[in-house]
Every structure is written in C-alpha cells, then in structure tokens.
C-alpha cells in the first residue's frame, strides 16, 4: 500500500491518541455495519398504511412538479403514455429500456407509439423506464442500473416517463435498502442507484427555480394500481 496511505492513517491514529483498533473493537464495528440498524424514520410515511403511503407518494411527487397518471392495470399503460405525449404535443417516438418489467405491457395496442428498446442517445426526446421502487416520504423514485436499465435513459431524454407499480411504493429510503439487499445481496449494489425527486432543476441564476437544467424537463409517472407485475 502507498506511503501516503500509511502516513494518513498513521497521523489519524496519532491524532486520536491510539494505535490500530484492537480486534475486539473492530469486531464491534463490523457487527454495527452488518446489523443495518435503522436510525429514526419519520412518522410522516411510516405511520400510514400502504394505501396512505401511495396517496402520500403522489402528493409529494406532485409537489415537486412530477406529474402522475393513475391507471387500473398494465393494459392501460400504453394509452396513458400516448395521451400524456399527445396532450403536450410531445413526439410519439420513444426509447424504452429493455427492462423485463416493461415486457408484459401491450404496447402494440398503441401503434402510434414508435418504440425503440435500448440505450438512450442524445437525439431521443422521450424515454420510458421502469422503477425499482418509490419512497412515499418525499415523492422519490428509486431506479437502479443493470444490463436492462442503463442509467443514461434516466437523464438524456427531455421527457422521462416512469412506469411504477403500486406495490413498489414504500414508506422510506430504509425500506428501499432492505428491498435492494434482498434483490441483490447485502453490500452488492448495482453500479448506480438513482433517487429521483421531480424533473431536473436549477436555482443558480438569481435563485429562481428553472426546470430542465441538464436532465429531463418533464418527469411523468404512470402508476399502475393493480399492484402485481405483468
């Protein structure tokens, strides 16, 4: 290991007036890491039942300029997407991640939607992705990267449409970590986890809020109420 590393750690221990931690203390700290103990989780979402959490999620998301369309089942998603795009005069050509979560949706019933499955490029104006989960507390989406969900699709297109199932809505970030550990194994995070709360914005010019700084100008969630995946 590098000389700088040893020197930094050495100075640090001298400042703390001790040497390397002994085995007992290290074991305690290892145990602390492994326990994944939750600190205080605010009651705002945690105190609600799941239906309440879904309502809170929608309210908090809308507060930060996310738009939400609610549909009864996966079968209604294509129409909801098509309506959203046409109402805003947005292009009907879209790039969709190859995420299997989106496979069971009957996209072909809306032939006007011109869909390309794959990685987003600069020219793509509209993107559709699936979500890993959503956090009611702050109206936040949780998206993860993987072979079928490239990160850039969350940022390059001007309009980002996210398909979210009702059963993916959770109270807190902490529940998100538990779900992620269950899905991927403890400590084995995907390359990228994106928490997204509203469309891109900046306050850098005279502290006035402007949407669409570098990421999407519009964030639209299609919330599928029947819960179960296709």
Residues 32 to 71 in contact with another protein, rule: CB under 8 A? 32-33, 36-40, 42-44, 60, 63-64
Binding mask 170-199 for another protein (x = CB under 8 A): --xxx--x---------xxxxxxxxxxxxx
- List the interface residues with another protein, window 115-144 (CB under 8 A): 118-119, 122, 138-140
Q: Is 159 in the site for another protein (CB under 8 A)?
A: no
Provide the minimum distance between the beta carbon of 139 and another protein in the complex, in angstroms, as a whole number: 8
Binding-site member from 12, 47, 112, 228 for another protein (CB under 8 A): 12
**Cβ closest to another protein, residue 32 vs residue 88:** 32
Provide the minimum distance between the beta carbon of 109 and another protein in the complex, in angstroms, as a whole number: 28
Segment interacting with another protein, rule: CB under 8 A, options 5-13, 47-55, 79-87, 102-110: 5-13
Provide the minimum distance between the beta carbon of 55 and another protein in the complex, in angstroms, as a whole number: 16
- Give whole-number Cα distances, 143 to 45, 90, 179, in Å: 20, 24, 12
Binding-site member from 146, 167, 226, 229 for another protein (CB under 8 A): 146
What's the sign of the alpha-carbon dihedral 122, 92, 114, 162?
Answer: positive
Residue 133 · residue 195 · CB < 8 Å: no
Q: Is 17 in the site for another protein (CB under 8 A)?
A: yes
- Give me the long-range contacts of 30-36 (CB less than 8 A, separation at least 24): 34/186, 36/177, 36/178, 36/181, 36/186
User: Of 187, 195, 77, whose CA–CA distance to 145 is shortest?
Assistant: 195
Q: Is 157 in the site for another protein (CB under 8 A)?
A: no
Assigned token pair, 225: 């109420």
φ/ψ of 218, rounded to 5, equals -130, 135
Assigned token pair, 104: 């069971």
Segment interacting with another protein, rule: CB under 8 A, options 14-22, 70-78, 80-88, 101-109: 14-22
Provide the minimum distance between the beta carbon of 6 and another protein in the complex, in angstroms, as a whole number: 9
Residue 67 · residue 220 · CB < 8 Å: yes
- List the interface residues with another protein, window 85-114 (CB under 8 A): none
Provide the minimum distance between the beta carbon of 150 and another protein in the complex, in angstroms, as a whole number: 4
Q: What DSSP designation does 39 have?
A: -
Assigned token pair, 165: 């199932």
Binding-site member from 213, 225, 227, 228 for another protein (CB under 8 A): 213
- Give whole-number Cα distances, 63 to 31, 66, 68, 148, 212, in Å: 40, 7, 11, 30, 16
Provide the minimum distance between the beta carbon of 119 and another protein in the complex, in angstroms, as a whole number: 5
Write down how long the chain is: 230
């Amino acid at each position: 290991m590098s000389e700088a590393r040893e020197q930094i750690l050495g100075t640090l221990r001298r400042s703390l007036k001790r040497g390397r931690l002994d085995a007992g203390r290290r074991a305690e700290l290892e145990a602390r890491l492994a326990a994944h103990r939750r600190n205080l989780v605010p009651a705002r979402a945690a105190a609600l039942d799941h239906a309440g959490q879904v309502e809170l999620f929608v309210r908090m998301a809308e507060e930060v300029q996310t738009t939400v369309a609610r549909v009864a089942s996966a079968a209604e998603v294509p129409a909801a997407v098509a309506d959203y795009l046409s109402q805003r005069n947005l292009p009907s050509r879209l790039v969709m991640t190859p995420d299997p979560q989106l496979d069971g949706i009957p996209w072909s019933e809306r032939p006007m939607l011109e869909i390309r499955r794959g990685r987003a490029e600069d020219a793509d104006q509209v993107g559709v992705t699936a979500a890993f989960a959503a956090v009611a507390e702050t109206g936040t989406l949780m998206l993860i990267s993987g072979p079928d969900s490239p990160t850039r699709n969350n940022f390059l297109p001007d309009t980002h449409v996210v398909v979210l199932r009702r059963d993916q809505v959770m109270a807190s970030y902490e529940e998100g970590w538990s779900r992620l550990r269950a899905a991927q194994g403890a400590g084995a995070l995907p390359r990228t986890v994106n928490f997204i709360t509203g469309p891109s914005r900046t306050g850098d010019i005279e502290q006035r809020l402007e949407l669409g700084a570098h990421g999407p100008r519009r964030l639209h969630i299609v919330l599928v109420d029947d819960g179960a995946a296709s």
